Copies of this chain bind each other. A is one copy, B any other.
Amino acid sequence: MKEIKGGITAAKGFMAADTAAGIKYEGRTDMAMVYSKEPCISAGTFTSNVVKAACVKWDMNIVKSEDKMQAIVINSGIANACTGKEGFEACEKTAKAVEEALGIPFNSVAVASTGVIGMQLPVEKLESGVKDMATKLSDSTEAGTKASKAIMTTDTVNKEIAVEFEIGGKTVTLGGMSKGSGMIHPNMCTMLAFLCTDLCITKEMLQKAVSDVVALSFNMITVDGDTSTNDILITMANSLADNPVIDKEGQDYETFKEALAYVCVNLAKRMAADGEGASKLFEAQVVNASSKADAKTLARAIVGSNLSKAAIFGCDANFGRFLCAMGYSGADFDQEDVELFFKSKNGSLKVFDHGRPLDFDEDYAVKIMEAEAVTVYVDMNEGSDEATAWGCDLTYDYVKINADYRS
């Protein structure tokens, strides 16, 4: 497997377009379209929030049916959540605009929205946007990059990636893009992610791979503990790579799953690092835990704590906060077993050893924590399971961004 240039348009037969529909922002693009020349099988994961946005309900209907998927329309600015019947009708009207413009069935069109909750979408602007994008679809790398920019909200950078790998002597490509910066917490984290591959695979195996990989990538990041109403990850596969179909577990499935994990972890970490107001990536690695579930719970509690996040921002090696977060996480353990380290590219330092605080060099601790990516590494010494979670620091800018998001 190797990383290649590009994103959502990297795999054979996928095209993208963007437009400035004037939904909420001025002077920037706010709509994107992804289109496959061939109908695709699809798989997806969706927010666990019981308040689901209209687009989440719309897409779940498609992904959970046997219907093929051929296009996705995404808008930023307004989330189309808490919008009642009118909101669901907006999804249908958008899909029907694609049907009219591209001649594909409206129930093969997924929709996704991100932005303010509780406002109705300006449907006519979306319809005009669809019409415009239908004439601009392109399989160029540039078209993919522009699409990844159009779906940003408070993101400061766009996120896209593509990889190539071999299945049965055929080159398969997987490309993707995502957005996400605030309202980010498993399950799903608050985010939109779209992956396109020319792989030939059954729907069942595609969904299995996606669900497994999401659990250890996107569902292991948190920015602010707030699980969005709008989380959507959709993977489309159009079979154009012409590889022998993957219809069971085995080497080919593992090869694909590895590529999928590489892409998802990469996008997830970049979303965490670009968390609202974030100045650095904050990683927690928990090893030798007594179960996988505990390892995940502990890692997520560490990166999810406001006090931990503020300490990471301040380069304050206040390790008690991390132990405190582990303690209230719900995982069971004995603090007498625990060793805790701070790590980064600038060094490694043990600060807590089997229940006792260690004397340590504060200046060295600050040096480690000043790096742009800081890891809290915890050895539980109680078993053999491990997990990694990603988040970001809590900064003044997080408060600034969120104290007046709507204006």
Chain A residues proximal to chain B, CB less than 8 Å: 48-52, 79, 81-86, 116-120, 182-183, 185, 224-229, 305-307, 310-311, 313-314, 316, 318-321, 323-328, 331-333, 335-336, 351-352, 354-357, 394-396, 398-400, 402-407
Contact = CB atoms under 8 A, between A and B. Distances in A.
How many copies make up the complex?
2
Given A86-B356, A307-B402, A328 B227 contact: yes
A176 to B, nearest CB: 25
Nearest to A312: B403
Given A306-B224, A310-B403, A405-B311, A82 B49 contact: no
A275 to B, nearest CB: 11
A86 B333 CA distance: 20
B396 A320 contact: no
Contact of A316 (B85, B86, B394, B406): B406
Nearest to A353: B84
5 closest residue pairs by CB, A with B = A117-B320, A314-B403, A51-B327, A310-B402, A227-B328
Contacts of A318: 116-118, 405-406
A355 B404 contact: no
17 contacts: A49-B324, A49-B327, A81-B320, A82-B335, A82-B356, A83-B356, A116-B318, A117-B320, A118-B352, A226-B321, A227-B328, A307-B402, A311-B402, A313-B399, A318-B405, A395-B399, A396-B400
* A86, A185, A226, A354 interface centre (most CB from chain B within 10 Å): A226
A79 B318 CA distance: 13
A45 B129 CA distance: 59
A118 B319 contact: yes
A86 B219 CA distance: 39
A227 B324 CA distance: 7
Nearest to A356: B84
A391 to B, nearest CB: 12
A66 B253 CA distance: 63
A183 B399 contact: no
Contact of A394 (B325, B326, B355, B399): B399
Contacts of A331: 50
A8 B357 CA distance: 34
Given A51-B327, A51-B335, A357 B83 contact: yes
